[in-house]
Structure 1
Amino acid sequence: MSASNTAPKTVMQRFLDAVERVGNMVPHPVIIFLILIGIVMVLSVLLSLFGVSVTSEVINPETNEIEQNTVAIRSLLDGDGIRFLYVSLIPNFMSFTAVGLMIGAMIGAGVAEESGLVSALIRKLVIVAPGWALAYILAFAGIMASIAADAGYLVLLPLAGVAFLTVGRNPLAGLALGFASVAAAFTVNMLIKPLDAVLVEFTNDAARLVDPNANVGLASNLWFSIVSVLFLTVLIAFINNRMIEPRLGKYVPDKSSETYEEPAAAKLSAEESRGLRFALFGLIGLLVVFALLTLPPGAPLRDPATGELIGSSPFMNGLITLIVLLFLVTGWAYGIGAGTVRTLSDVIKAMEKAVTGLGATIFLFFVLSQFVAYFTFTNMGTVLALSLASVLQTAQIGALPLLVGFIVVVAIIDLLLTGAIAKWAIFAPIFVPLLMKLGVEPEAVLAGYRVGDSPMNAITPLNAYFALVVGFAQKYDKNAGVGTVVSLMLPYTVWIFVLWTVLFSIWKVLGLPWGV
């Protein structure tokens, strides 16, 4: 790494250095996924020949009755599999939502960055916030960014690296802190977000298998989520300050690199200050417009059927649009005030520059989307998840150990199936009724799922944004690779998983309310 540290290294630091060296020996991520595609093809053929399958109970959506459902491994090289491979190449990529989110977010973020708004805001934050508080502020912002779905990956991660660089701290540490806060705590927030509506819907369907009158509300995990946000904010910042930064040491930039940028002075110029005022005016104007579109009864962005604003309303489902406009409007307004963006052509050029820089990532996403689609087609992830669930289901243990075992199973499966919704669709009909029969409220099962689902997101290369983090890391260290990111994120993953599970267990033992 581009750092110097003469202090003796601890056993853990030496272990992480070894993880980094081994990890960086692996091939390019595209090659990795091509190899994984080959492995999935071979395994799908072998497992299907041996008739590997698993049977579980599911809910018939038409009759609302329990039925037996058998899921078998499907071969990618039989007739159906070959037809799927042939016709799905482009649909697999087009349905990979991470691509659209990334391009959309970068269009707005590109204007904000090119105009100078991002740099000015970070330096303003550095001036206003005490140095000791920077890690805590960024960790909190990263966790709260999940309200905008995946946009936090694209916005907060690069900002965290630049913020650390601006104050003379190692930008790789800032990048790791941002990634941990966005990815490893993705399922909790202090606000109700679109993901909650989907998770609660699956929970209610599963709970009604035992109690037809069961009803879990959108805020059923709110108290646990709020405490988790505060707890994880402190934990993530502590890990950064005590483990990650001491290992990385002082950052020594490679000034000969084409990507090297001289850190801007912390003090803001008169033009930059005027630009920030213009950006504030633009933000206020945008908020007024969205207030008119959301607050009045019957407003266009409310749910047309129920009139609700929170939940599955157009406003919540389209939050990425608000994020794009937020950066576009404030970036353009800043540029006008600071004199850095004067015409519409300047805005368009900033957008083009942002999208142009995504070429390598888009190609990687193309290959990654094929792997995800092929893996899903084979049913291997579903069979594995149901098999592990069956083991826990038949284990003669108490409710709390079963809950902890459930959290562990979710974490293991998250290394292969990173989608929070897809996994809960599999697990909810199994574990919610099982634990309800043991006297466990469905809210507790959902809270346990939140704990198990997130921490592994920070170390699995199957996370759609993992490769993006590798790219961000290479901006500060041209030798950075998969091993670099894994070694940075491993302490976060381990400690967040362990201590968050402990918090969950204490909450359950004390009988505290999970939410409203």
Structure 2
Amino acid sequence: MEKKERPGLFNRFLNVIERLGNRLPDPIVLFIILMVAILVASFFAGIAGLTAVNPADGETITAVNLLSSAGMVRILTEAISNFSAFPPLGMVLVVMIGIGLAEKSGYFEAAMRRAIEVSPKKLMLPAIILVGIIGNVAGDAGPIILPPIAAMVVMRLGYHPFVGLVMAYAAALGAFSANVIPGMSEALAMAFTVPAAQIINPDYTGNLLMNYYFTAVATVFLLFIIYYVTKKITVPRLGTYQGQETVSNEPLERKEVKALRWANISVILAAIFFMIFLVPENGILRNPETGSIVQESPFMDSIVFILTILFFIPGLVYGLVSGTLRSTKDFGRMLSDSMATMGSYIVLVFFAAQMLAYFSWSNLGPIIAIKGANLLEAVDASGIPLFIGFILLAGLINMLIGSASAKWAILAPVFVPMFMLLGYDPAFTQLLYRIGDSFSNPITPMLPYLPLLLAFAQKYDKNAGLGTLISALLPYAIVLFFAWSALLIVWYLLGIPVGIDGPIHLPES
């Protein structure tokens, strides 16, 4: 009888992570559990008279028992308003109208394929990486569409198809928070940062571009990092491919190229249209009193809708020219299908909004934040060690909960106020979370893209398993952790704002 080979230590570790993650309830159920936990905690905290002194104004904050008669009435009467008044919900859904049409019409896929097709051979790998990073703005399109395209492209260059699969996957997910184009990831993160910051400062607003400076620079920086890992580790390790090609290598059809050209022209014209109202000193999108583009300007107030239009127009043009959008019924179906993908998010937001409301009403958020900040100050846990610790915590949680919005909905109400009390702006805390959520993405078994990547891999090698992919993706995750962290440390030491109205430290009052 043949002795079964025992899995290696690392594969055994991954199996444990996968089993633990699979035992976790659905994120929606997780929020229901958290809601109940907060109610119970508020009962005991209220009975015990738990308090904390706000260092900002010296006010004593007392825990509120939400299971009292007044608390129960508030829970029942304000449930609908908690959900409907959740500010970022409308913003995310509006952005999805534009992104959804661009995806369903085929514009995103055609743009990715064409960008790779026209790139010179020497720049092919960097082009794939760049498309993967920028493709994050298209949501699921990057990790779903790009890896199989990249696999067939790298085969032309003489590489193993797995090189394209893992490189594109690592670029789309390991650099998930890096981009030069604001999109869904900014909107989803901000959705929970703002309510969490309002626990300490009710007047806090935030904006979609409060991490933009850092994420734009990270786009270029991480491109070189991922390329280095590919050339120095992935390509030598995977060697040459001995099998037969199984993925179609068809270039874009002439009609698709024509449609893509007109779609790109349309988005350029749309951008020029908005620039006409933004660039002049008396432009209507500037602040009418100060002339500022950023500070309290119509441009910043309408940035979400402008981005929606800039996605919507090329998606519409591409669909009309390519023939994927033949009638008003097709148009309605594409918009409906794209919005249907947000169904689980809408349900998630309902329960997350209740959880955040309970956390705010109970005063547990600021009490935990104040006591946590006092503890961190007592042990002198601040600065760079604190940042790296939080990044690692977010990365560890990412191994068990794949949804970025679900994780941040849980972490933001605690860590955003805590970091604010230590003097750090919510924009900076949000950035730390996004880094932690990004570097570990390629190796987390909790994302639905990993089984899909395995299916792509098995087209080239029937014996490929999860361990095959994880072992190829792990070097990217490790190096990306150090790269993201190094860029953050340099940025912090230089004291550069992480984005528009996104300072590192809170302004002194």
Shorter chain as normaliser: what TM range? 0.5 to 0.7
2:359 is the alignment partner of 1:339: no
Task: Pick closer, same or farther for the CA change 1:459–1:225 going to 2, 3 Å.
Answer: closer
Secondary structure of residue in 2 paired with 1:24? helix
Q: Take 1:29 and 1:292, find their aligned partners in 2: how far apart are those partners?
A: 44
1:34 maps to a residue whose letter is I
Gaps of 5+ in 2: 152-161, 202-208, 395-406, 456-465, 499-509
Contact 1:386 1:426 survives alignment (8 Å): yes
Q: TM-score, normalised by structure 2?
A: 0.67
How far residue 320 of structure 1 moved from its aligned partner, in angstroms, is 1.9
Alignment of 1:203-352 (within 5 A): 228=218, 230-235=220-225, 265-352=249-336
Paired position in structure 2 for 1:364: 348
1:26 maps to a residue whose letter is L
Paired position in structure 2 for 1:112: 102
2:141 is the alignment partner of 1:141: no
From 428, 431, 453, the counterpart of 2:423: 431
How far residue 351 of structure 1 moved from its aligned partner, in angstroms, is 1.0
Paired position in structure 1 for 2:357: 373
How many residues align? The count is 426
2:275 maps to a residue whose letter is A
Secondary structure of residue in 1 paired with 2:354? helix
2:54 maps to a residue whose letter is S
From 63, 71, 87, the counterpart of 1:73: 63
Paired position in structure 1 for 2:206: none
How far residue 368 of structure 1 moved from its aligned partner, in angstroms, is 2.5
2:400 is the alignment partner of 1:407: no
How far residue 357 of structure 1 moved from its aligned partner, in angstroms, is 3.5
Task: Pick closer, same or farther for the CA change 1:263–1:53 going to 2, 3 Å.
Answer: farther
Contact 2:370 2:421 survives alignment (8 Å): no
How far residue 156 of structure 1 moved from its aligned partner, in angstroms, is 3.6
Paired position in structure 2 for 1:124: 114
Secondary structure of residue in 2 paired with 1:182? coil
How far residue 125 of structure 1 moved from its aligned partner, in angstroms, is 2.2
From 83, 94, 100, the counterpart of 2:90: 100
Deviations 1:358-412 (A, max 9, x none): 33332233222222222232232322222121123234x5xxx631354267659
Q: Take 1:450 and 1:416, find their aligned partners in 2: how far apart are those partners?
A: 9
Secondary structure of residue in 2 paired with 1:19? helix
Contact 2:52 2:61 survives alignment (8 Å): yes
2:384 is the alignment partner of 1:391: no
Greater shift after overlay, 222-231 or 16-25? 222-231
Paired position in structure 1 for 2:507: none
Q: Take 1:114 and 1:138, find their aligned partners in 2: how far apart are those partners?
A: 18
Contact 1:114 1:350 survives alignment (8 Å): yes
2:376 maps to a residue whose letter is L
From 438, 452, 461, the counterpart of 2:432: 452
Secondary structure of residue in 1 paired with 2:350? helix
Deviations 1:239-264 (A, max 9, x none): 89969xx99xx9xxxxxxxxxxx977
1:316 maps to a residue whose letter is M
Q: Take 1:325 and 1:237, find their aligned partners in 2: how far apart are those partners?
A: 33
How far residue 314 of structure 1 moved from its aligned partner, in angstroms, is 2.2
Secondary structure of residue in 1 paired with 2:31? helix
Task: Pick closer, same or farther for the CA change 1:167–1:307 going to 2, 3 Å.
Answer: same
How far residue 470 of structure 1 moved from its aligned partner, in angstroms, is 4.9
Task: Pick closer, same or farther for the CA change 1:515–1:119 going to 2, 3 Å.
Answer: closer
Secondary structure of residue in 1 paired with 2:23? coil
- RMSD, aligned α-carbons: 4.8
From 34, 38, 41, the counterpart of 1:40: 38
Task: Pick closer, same or farther for the CA change 1:281–1:224 going to 2, 3 Å.
Answer: closer
How far residue 172 of structure 1 moved from its aligned partner, in angstroms, is 8.8
Contact 1:157 1:179 survives alignment (8 Å): no
2:17 maps to a residue whose letter is V
Q: TM-score, normalised by structure 1?
A: 0.66
Paired position in structure 2 for 1:481: none
Q: Take 2:72 and 2:262, find their aligned partners in 1: how far apart are those partners?
A: 57
Alignment of 1:165-176 (within 5 A): 165-168=148-151
How far residue 273 of structure 1 moved from its aligned partner, in angstroms, is 1.0
Paired position in structure 2 for 1:20: 18
